[in-house]
Chain A
């Protein structure tokens, strides 16, 4: 019998045309790689097509009706994103290409202007390369020191020595949810202490805002970065949230058209926020389609999405546990309250790439490798892991298909 929640997910899956497409071997597709990128609902695809069919014009500078329509739609999408994460106002949302660019924006503008020798930046040991490499380079350029909040063998943050770590800290940059282990960072305990120590807090929300309700003001974070393509939106669009007073004092990032107020041959003055940070023609169509994605998620309800993923993750953990006697190992926080819908695992001596290849022959898409967290993998001593990740359109049927494909892998490898 299909539970009501699962029934709803089956209905939702029908909104995603790609999920109806069988594989070249005629298998049903079980897409379990939404942590890498999500599939797109018809409403988002339609928004892209509608924009190019009816509203396409360059924004901001046009005086004709079409350009006004494009500008309105673009700014309306910004307002939708702002309200989705409960920012105080749309001007606190800067469009970027993705999370990576949003983090780099902070590093190159606020970071270069505010960090120096004797200052510290604090990350955790489970950061995605996107929330690590920019701080490594910033530290190298400014002489600031980079420190790490440790994680234990289950991928849980260890906060015992946090106050020592926070000495002279200017920035704490953490991923809200680990894309490798699903760990939800204990922001409630870290953010107030970081602020008390005089630091700003940047949260990499690439894996949180798609999956549960996020309220940037309740979290009281200073910067929040995310990618549209992981939250039902198109590729090529993401955003940076930052508090108004920060955006106003930060120097510009990329420079050129659109981000200026007045330009002379020798000097220029810059536009107001958020446009000060949006040099050149933006990905207008993608921004508008991300607005449609946010509408779609809001209509489903983020509380439901979070509940559904928690249930499905618990179900998947139970199904995977049945393989443990044959050598399957599940990584990450043991308690489901500490984790989001991401499960990393290895199966006996099958290398994660071989496992992913075999699962693929059964229509099951999982990722294998280091998941852009090479230092974490090195620390844990895992050469690679397989990773299944869930979203609102996944059902118990997808998990059952994963279990079926794991049986096949066990047979092939004679486990």
Chain B
């Protein structure tokens, strides 16, 4: 887990990219991780071509949640909302690399969950739980 806190992660934590809020976003969503209280909001603007033209995120929380959201924000421009809604956990894991302990996986996924929720217009599932078999009872 200590190898996770690489230079570029700390840089995104301390200097988050696309941080802030949009005046009148076309899509927006805010959610929190009730386990730790981390909170993230994503605002998306969509251009006439149907693709994301501007992105802002805001929130507070640990280095993992904030850096993951910052890096994700850099990859959303140019995508359609349908594409954003379809993003899977790999889109975050590729950015943040390996080494996240299971206990901290939700921190890494919070930003993606919120961005997908904004694109869907409704609360999305946790990306790391998607595709999992429904729990049999």
Contacts and interface: CB of A to CB of B under 8 A. Distances in A.
Whether A and B are associated in the same complex: the answer reads yes
Interface of A: 349-354, 357-358, 360-361, 368-370, 374, 383-384, 408, 412-414
B62 interface: yes
B101 A357 contact: yes
A374 B37 CA distance: 10
Interface residues of B, number: 19
B23 interface: no
Nearest to B100: A357
Given A354-B5, A357-B1, A357-B101, A349 B60 contact: no
The 10 A-B residue pairs with the shortest CB-CB distance in the complex, in nearest-first order = A351-B62, A353-B62, A361-B2, A354-B63, A412-B5, A354-B62, A357-B1, A361-B1, A369-B36, A358-B2
B37 A383 contact: yes
Given A353-B107, A370-B37, A413-B10, A360 B1 contact: yes
B1 A351 contact: no
Given A354-B62, A412-B10, 8 more contacts: A351-B61, A351-B62, A354-B5, A358-B2, A370-B37, A374-B37, A383-B60, A414-B10
B40 interface: no
Given A351-B63, A383-B60, A413-B10, A358 B37 contact: no
21 contacts: A351-B63, A352-B62, A353-B36, A353-B61, A353-B62, A353-B64, A353-B104, A353-B107, A354-B63, A354-B64, A357-B2, A357-B4, A357-B101, A357-B103, A361-B2, A368-B36, A374-B37, A383-B60, A412-B2, A413-B5, A413-B10
B125 interface: no
A384 B36 contact: yes
B86 interface: no
Contacts of B2: 357-358, 361, 408, 412
Nearest to A368: B36
Contacts of B60: 383
Contacts of B37: 369-370, 374, 383-384
Contacts of A351: 61-63
Contacts of B62: 351-354
Interface in B1-60: 1-2, 4-5, 10, 14, 35-38, 60
A14 to B, nearest CB: 29
Interface of B: 1-2, 4-5, 10, 14, 35-38, 60-64, 101, 103-104, 107
A360 B103 CA distance: 12
B19 to A, nearest CB: 15
A376 to B, nearest CB: 13
A352 B61 CA distance: 9
Contacts of A358: 1-2, 5
Contacts of B101: 357
A370 B104 CA distance: 16
Contacts of B35: 369
Contacts of B14: 349
Q: Which of A352, A354, A374 has the most CB of B within 10 A?
A: A354
A383 B10 CA distance: 19
Contacts of B61: 351, 353, 383
A368 B63 CA distance: 14
Nearest to A414: B10
A353 to B, nearest CB: 4
A191 B1 CA distance: 48
A353 B38 CA distance: 10
B68 to A, nearest CB: 12
Contacts of A414: 10
A189 B61 CA distance: 39
